[in-house]
Amino acid sequence: MTTEPTASPPLKLASEALRDDLAPSEPLASLVRRFCLLLASLLALGGALLGASGAAMALRDGLEGATAALVVLGLGLSPLPYGPRSHGLAGLGVAMLLAALLGHGPAGGLLRQNPGALPWELARVLAAVLLPAALLFRAHYRALPLARLLLGWGLVLALPFAMRSGYLVAMATAWSERLAAGLTLTTTLFALLGFMGAHTTAGGSLWAAGLLVSLALDIAARLLLPGESPRLALHLATALGFLVSAALASFGLFQAFAHALAPAARLDAERRWRRGWIDP
């Protein structure tokens, strides 16, 4: 009795395996559906908190958040190619962040209690968009010199908010402000590890997630300030709305960078392999 020979998977050259490792074509593509489902669920939770807060314009913000959740689900579940989906996620996230600065959307409470804090909240938005995206790009394209250039620009844009956080660590009277600002400053400083060599990802994905969470926790910590406990649901909803908006913007921007720069990164990895600059 003879058996049919089974087809073996094609062999992959060491240079091809290294290129796929250092310069993937579509990084985190399979994660998009679960990512969008999670973010849509967080938007729904934020809408429920807004409804429970009883704050002025909470119904409007909740409806805008529900609309954004449907768009996120549509982007995640629709059969869009990698590039258009990344542009859609980035565009939606940036639009939600700009709306928050204008008092709209699921993070519309960002400035409602203190309109004079617009410069600092704009600095928060700048820190939340490019730096996490650059950290993700650095983690997935660790041998590409351009990844460190993007990381440098991300740190420059995050510098104003980092300086504000350092000031609060030293001068704030409330311990909650000091703790939240210290966490944000620490995660921002850990981004400097991205300038390490190509042998390591430097934990870029971890620090990107940590920075986004710390920026949102800095908003949620307002509920611990004197006189703010009645607005607990509003502060939590605003923090969730900001977290989702910033995650959409930074994740989408990272994938947009990957879609545009992956061919050049793959050529660079092949060139480094042939010249013996990197080991398999």
pLDDT tens for residues 196-218? 987 888 889 999 999 999 999 99
Name which of 84, 82, 20, 23 is nearest 264 in CA terms. Answer: 23
Q: Highest mean pLDDT: which of 22-26, 255-259, 263-267?
A: 255-259
- For 217-227, how does the pLDDT look when each residue is reduced to its tens digit (9 = 90+)? 999 998 888 87
pLDDT over 80 at 63, yes or no: yes
Q: What is the mean pLDDT of the chain?
A: 85
pLDDT over 90 at 84, yes or no: yes
* Residues of the chain above pLDDT 90, percent: 52
pLDDT over 60 at 10, yes or no: no
pLDDT at residue 13, rounded to an integer? 40
pTM above 0.85, yes or no: yes
pLDDT at residue 134, rounded to an integer? 95
pLDDT over 50 at 279, yes or no: no
The encoded tokens of residue 66 equal: 């529900």
